[in-house]
Every structure is written in structure tokens, then in C-alpha cells.
Structure 1
């Protein structure tokens, strides 16, 4: 492993040099143990602690198959699916691995008594399997997390519709929170050359998800002038939605939970901001009944910020806690586009405000390769910037996941895997200098 790190840090190793390196038989990885899948049974979600379930183990380097690549992971990051995996909600990810392992002989590799998690990476290709022509050892890459087989016709218009679509590192094994990861070659994209390893690893999942949800024709199809309500606008997902709205000529209405988070949104260029904590919005009277009066108060506040207009698009991801309000405040003919459900999966809303006002609910889930490529291209061009706020070591991944679970973070949190320190991997220093304030925006916002 030391030779691999040295070759990467040298900055001058060739593809032939990487090909000549001997691969280790094992590497360190963040794993869940199958025999602990019921460790939190009977506990409330908030009490389930990722620090107890996430382990850093020495595991075998996986076998390389056709159309795949082994990548030396310099850095990764924590997403909310890391939290879900770690607390075995909504079900144990070993269920996914068992199901996948039954599909083909090659897929049996994924059904193991441990699960290497993580759906982001930035690193260097070490080996490619048969049939890989676009990538070679030594290529500096990031990976998106869509894993598809594409043997069915269903996925050939939109690969997200492939019946065998899975999220790498969540519904498959050998994810990015490891020193060496296994990916399909069509997950790879060029690493933005003005970013460090940890900065480049941070956008992947959330940036691509926000792109499809908000910009793509498969999502809301945002246009110039649209009023876009963004829940959690300074968070891992919302921080990219806010940037896409601003870059696309829309008007983001940013919902946050503290003045510090409001300041981050202002620093991105947003002007319409609602601090839901300071303004005391409570959309549920109790756990069973919502409060329409709060929907109306919320809608009135939005119109105060938009010059009397309702929102064209709601960027939804909290789910149960906010969905009733989201449907209510959307304008006639508008769109609620939803992914995830971090506050609960059972959404409730008053259907009169949907059907009688011709509103639409669109479900989105990550992104296809083209959408992920376009989202990464905007990062590489300096149009959208990483929202990295804090970086942990591989051994501290449990704490990183706990922070994300408790919403005690800004933007995204990164994890160093093989990179010995932060700030490495920058190739274009001139481009970086042009965007350094935006790159550091979320770091500077920490307190």
C-alpha cells in the first residue's frame, strides 16, 4: 500500500508505473458486521449510534470482474445513506447484498458477512477488468454511485429505470469508505483538477442527486425566474440545490434551522431565507395531526419574500415533517420533486391542494450517468463548488456519521482514506486560486 500511496503523491507516475505496482491482498475499510444487524432492535432512531456499528477492519481486496475497476481511494465522504446503513434502517443493507448475490455468479462476491459502505470516492485507477477501454491505471477519477446491469430494455432510455439499478456502497458491497474500492467502469468520471482529494470526493452523490432533482428533464426541469423552495438549503443536498438555482437564474427560497446556516446561504448569493427555528414553524400539532394554519403562515412568509408569488418548485427531501406544507405552498401547476425522507417515509398531505390545483409530485433517486457527468462537469468548470466543511480520518467515520445523523454539520463532511493529509491532489493551482473563496466557503462557516 505504501508504494501505491508514493506513486500517487509523486504526481509523475505513469500508467505503466501503476500497472507494475503489486496490489495488496487486503486493505482497511469501514464495514458493518452482519451478526450485529439487530444490535439496535427496539431502540428509537435517534438513539441508534453509528459509532457502535461502524468498524474499520482489514478486509480482502475484492476480485476484479469484467467492466470493473479497482480504485485506490484517497478520500471519500459521508452521505445520509451512510447513516441509514449504520443504523440498519429502513432495513439492514445485508438484505440488499443477499438479494444481489443471488443474481449472478459474479454478484456472489457481494454477499459477505461484512459490508464495506460508502457511495463517494476520489482516487486513482489501479486495475481495470476485461472490456474496459475508456480508463486505465493512473487515471485520477471520482465515482458516481449508480450501479446498473443494462441487460433489460427498461434502462436504455434512462439508466435509473434499469430493473437491476442499485446504489453502490449501499445496495452493493465494496464501497468508497475504504483504501481500495471496486466500481463499474461506467461509474467513473474525471477528477476536477483544481480540487484536493477530499474536496473532489464530497460532491458526488449529493451533487448528482440535486442536478437530476432540480435541473434535469427527469426532475423539475427548473428554468430562469422560477421560485424554488429549498429545504435544508445549507445541508449536504440543499447546498447544491441552492447553487444550481442561483447558477440557473432561479430564485431560491432557502429554509434553514439557524442563523449560522442562514449566513452560509447568504454567502452563496441567496437573499430569500427562512429560519424555521427562529420563526417557530411547527407543521405538526402532534405525531398524528398536522396544522394547516402553519402551512398558511409559511405560505404567507414565502410570498413576502417573493413579491407575492408562490413557489414554482419545492425541493423536497425531509419527507414526513415537511411534505404537507410543501404540497400546500406550491403554486397552481407547480412541482414538488422529492428524494429521500430523512424525517420519515410516510408522507401525509391534503390531496385537495394537489389535484384541484394541478400540482405534480415527481420522485427522483440519484441520477443516471449522463446527469452525474454533467453535474461533475459543472464542478470541474468552477460553476458549482464543493460544500465540504470538515474532514475526518477513516477511523473517525463513525463520529462523522453520527454528526450527519444529528445534523451537527454544514454541507458535506469528508473522510481521508489513503491521503495522508488534507490539501493534496490539486493539479491546476491557477484555476483553484480563481475559486478559492467559494471552495472554502463551508469551511470558513464552521464555528
Structure 2
């Protein structure tokens, strides 16, 4: 592993050097264990601690199957699917791995292990490729998006997210990115933006692609210039990219945050219309089972005050149960609620009269296809969208990093170093970086 790191840090190393490096028989990865999947049984979600379920262990190195690549992971990041995995909610992920192992994909049987190496982002270097991989070669600097799909079914050939066998790598597959090595399909790979460090480049793959499909794509909200876009959690990992995409696309984001520090953050991105949930005291539920329509109406009035009388054309929805009824209510007549997650609960309740009588739409949006992910990564590479990395942890502290996201103690993205020995490494285009340094460091500057 030291030889891999040495080559990665060298300015002289070329593809042949990486191809000649011996691949270690094992590597360190962040794992949950099948034998511990009932450790939180009977506990409330808020009381579960990822620090107890996530650990870093040595695991065997898998051989790339046809169409796959083995990556030396320099850095990764925490996504909410890793939080779910660590809490064993809504179910342990080992069922996903077992189902994948029963599929007909080459090498799928290797994924059914008593451990699950998690993580759905990476920035790193290609070490080996399996048969049939032509676009990528050892030594290539890459980032990975998290869609794992083999496209054996015709259903996915218009939009790969519709393929019945599509999976999220590092969540529904094994050998994820929170590790020193990782196994991906070659069609997950994209060029690493040259002006970013390893940890900055690793921060954007999942959330930026998800936000791009959810807002911009024909498969999502189809955002256009002038649209009013309500963005929940606008200072978080997903919302911070949605805010940038809205501003870049000529829309008007209305950013919902929790706290003045996060309000300052989204204003620094260029957002002018901000709602501080904590300050306003919004409570959309009177109790566990009783929604409060008066609070939906209060939110709708607040949005119109900020926009000069306009309702939201698009609601960027991901908290789920806590906010969904309010989202349906505040969308304009004929507007769209696009939902990609349910971080506050999967069982939604809303008043359907406000949906059908006002001709609104609810669109489900799950990650992104390869074309959408590539387009989103291109915006990063051109300096038009910036990573929103705020904090970086060593791999040994992955449980602490995941717990911070679970407790909503973070802003933007939380990074994790893999083989990179320190932060700040990996930049190849210093001139482009210098032009965008303030944007790149924005979330680092607002940590306190």
C-alpha cells in the first residue's frame, strides 16, 4: 500500500508504473457486520450511534470482473445512505448484498459477505481493470458516481435508473468507497476535476449528480430560468449543490436552513431569500400523528413575502415525513414536488386535495444516470459548481464522521481521507484553482 501512495504522490509516475504495482491481498475498509445488524433493535433512530456499528477492518481485495475497475481510493465522503447503513435502517443492507449475489452479473457472488464495505463516493486512481474495459487504464485519476448497473434489461436503455437491476454502489453493493481500495464498474468512472484536491473531488459525486437530475434533468423538475425553487436543507450536502444549480440556471432559490450560521452560508453562495426554520419555529406536526395545516399556510405566506407574491414552481424535497405535506401545499398551482429521499422518515402524509385540485405533480427522483452524472461532474470540472466540503476526517474516524451527519452537526459535505496521507494533495491545475479558491473554500471558512 505504501508503494501505491508513493506513486500517487509522485509527479513522474505514469500509467505503466501503476500497472506494475503489486495489488495488496487485503485493505482497510469501513464496514458494518452482519452479526451486529440487530445491535440497535428497539432503539429510537435518534439514539442509535454509528460510532458503535461502523468500524475499520482489514478485508480481502476483490479481483475486477469483466467491466470493473479496482481503484486506489485517495478520499471519500459521507452520504446519508451510509448513515442508514450504520443504523440498519430501514433494514440491514445485507439483504441487498444477498439479492445481488443471486443475480446473473459476473462476479456478483463476491458481494455476499459477513461484512459490508460502505461508501458511495471516491476520488482516486485506477489500479487494475477487468476484461472489456477500454476507456480507463491504470494511472487514470478518477471520481466515481454511485450507479451500479449492468443493463441486461431493455427497461434501462432509455434511462439507466429505470433498469430493474440498478443498484447504489456502496449501499446495495459491497466494496464501497470509504476504504483504501474500492471495486466499481467502469461506467461509474468520470475524470477527476484537475483543480481540486482529492478530498474536494470526492465530495460531489453522489449529491451533485442527485441534485442535477432532481432539478435540471428532463427526468426531474426540468428547472428553467425564473423558476422559484424551494430548497429544504439548503446548507446540507444535497441542498448546497441544489442552491448552486438553481443560481447557475437562472432560477430563484428560497433556501430553508436551521440556524443563522447556515443562513450565512447559503447567502455567501449568492442566495438572497432564506428561511431560518429554527428562528421561525416551524412545527409541521402537532404530535407524532397530527399534522398542522396552519404551519403549511404560514410557510406559504412566508415564501410569498420573500418572492413578491409568487409560490414555488419546484420544491426540492428530501427530508420526507417532517416536511412533505408542507411541500405539497406550498408548491404553486401546476407546480412540482421532486423528492429523492426521506431523511426524517419514509412514511409520508399529505392532504391530497392540494395536489389533485391544483394540478400539482410529485416526481420521484433517485440518484442519476451516467449521462446526468457526467454532466454534473463537467460543471464541477469547469469551476461552475464548487464542492461544499466543510470538514475532513481520517478513515479511522469514519464512525465519528457518520455520526456528525446523523446528528445534523455538519454543513455541506463531510470528507474522509483514504490513502491520501494529508489534506490539500492532488491538485493538477493551480491556475484554475486560484480563480475559484474562494468558492472552493466557502464551506471550510464557515465551520465555526
TM interval, shorter chain, is over 0.9
Q: Which residue in 2 is equivalent to 1:183?
A: 184
Task: Please state how far the C-alpha of 1:32 moved relative to its aligned partner.
Answer: 0.8
Q: Which residue in 1 is equivalent to 2:30?
A: 30
Q: Which residue in 2 is equivalent to 1:21?
A: 21
Residue 31 of structure 2: SS of its match in structure 1?
A: strand
Q: Which residue in 2 is equivalent to 1:263?
A: 264
Distance 2:161 2:11 in 1: 36
Q: Which residue in 1 is equivalent to 2:110?
A: 109
Task: Please state how far the C-alpha of 1:14 moved relative to its aligned partner.
Answer: 1.0
Residue 313 of structure 2: SS of its match in structure 1?
A: strand
Residue by residue, what CA displacement relative to the aligned partner does 1:54-88 show, whole Å, maximum 9, x if unpaired? 11101111121000000000000000001000010
Q: Which residue in 2 is equivalent to 1:330?
A: 331
1:151-190 equivalent positions in 2, closer than 5 A: 151-190=152-191
Distance 1:124 1:346 in 2: 40
Distance 1:238 1:349 in 2: 22
RMSD value over aligned CA atoms?
0.6
Residue 438 of structure 2: SS of its match in structure 1?
A: helix
Distance 1:50 1:23 in 2: 30
Task: Please state how far the C-alpha of 1:11 moved relative to its aligned partner.
Answer: 2.2
Q: Which residue in 2 is equivalent to 1:62?
A: 62
Deviation >4 Å, runs of 4+ = none
Q: Which residue in 2 is equivalent to 1:226?
A: 227
Residue 299 of structure 2: SS of its match in structure 1?
A: helix
Residue 206 of structure 1: SS of its match in structure 2?
A: helix
Residue 165 of structure 2: SS of its match in structure 1?
A: coil
Task: Please state how far the C-alpha of 1:103 moved relative to its aligned partner.
Answer: 1.1
1:418 aligns with 2:391: no
Q: Which residue in 2 is equivalent to 1:343?
A: 344
Q: Which residue in 1 is equivalent to 2:145?
A: 144
Distance 1:276 1:18 in 2: 50
Distance 1:368 1:63 in 2: 25
Residue by residue, what CA displacement relative to the aligned partner does 1:69-126 show, whole Å, maximum 9, x if unpaired? 0000000000000100001000000010011111136211000000000000000000
1:280-359 equivalent positions in 2, closer than 5 A: 280-359=281-360
1:5 aligns with 2:5: yes
Distance 2:186 2:423 in 1: 27
The total of aligned residue pairs comes to 447
Q: Which residue in 2 is equivalent to 1:407?
A: 408
Distance 1:293 1:113 in 2: 49
Distance 2:357 2:217 in 1: 26
User: Unaligned 5+ residue runs, structure 1?
Assistant: none
Residue 291 of structure 2: SS of its match in structure 1?
A: coil
TM-score calculated relative to the size of structure 1: 1.00
Distance 1:29 1:294 in 2: 45
